[in-house]
Amino acid sequence: MRIALIVSRYHAFITDGLAQGARDALVEAGVEPTAIETFAVPGAYELAQAASRVAGTGRFDGMVCLGCLIRGETPHFDYIAQAAAHGILRAAQAHGIPAGFGLLTTNTAEEAMARSAPGEANKGREAASAVIEMAQLYRGLGAGA
């Protein structure tokens, strides 16, 4: 199984932890470390753009999209969160591969840090586990399903 990790560099102090949690979950599920390819993007808005291109290569059985938005004083947070969520889903549907949604949308940096810390509550870990489960479902359904 080949998995793409698409990781926002913005708020790297959070996304690095999400990416590590995702890698840990994938390896624990039996994915070879060499079968995990990481693609860095500038921010959360670019996650969907990269997801579409990565999925379109046909090289991956799934992709895990990881980023972090921390609410500010303007509605910018809402626009980016919606665009990323809808875009990642569209990319997955258009190309027929599962996408794990690991974009944190928190009110504070402290909330984000709690969700990206090592351990079972790491949201990168959860997103990667969902991708593994969905990739197995897709395989069970067969080609063209």
Q: What is the pLDDT of residues 46-63, one digit of tens each?
A: 999 999 999 999 999 999
Q: Does residue 76 carry a catalytic annotation?
A: yes
Catalytic hit among 11, 76, 86, 95: 76
Query: What pLDDT sits at residue 145?
Result: 47
The total domain count for the chain is 1
3-state secondary structure the chain: CCEEEEEECCCHHHHHHHHHHHHHHHHHCCCCHHHEEEEEECCCHHHHHHHHHHHHCCCCCEEEEEEEEECCCCCHHHHHHHHHHHHHHHHHHHHCCCEEEEEEEECCHHHHHHHHCCCCCCHHHHHHHHHHHHHHHHHHHCCCC
pLDDT tens, position by position, 52-103: 999 999 999 999 999 999 998 888 999 999 999 999 999 999 999 999 999 9
Sequence-ordered list of residues with C-beta below 8 angstroms from that of 143, at least 6 positions apart, any chain = none
Domain, as residue range, for 47: 3-141
Alpha-carbon gap, residue 93 to 5, rounded angstroms? 17
Question: Is 137 in contact with 96 (CB distance < 8 Å)?
Answer: no
We report the CATH number of the domain holding residue 126 as 3.40.50.960
CB atoms closer than 10 angstroms to residue 9: 13
Query: What pLDDT sits at residue 143?
Result: 61
118 φ/ψ angles, rounded to the nearest 5 degrees:
-60, 145
Is the whole model's pTM more than 0.85, yes or no?
A: yes
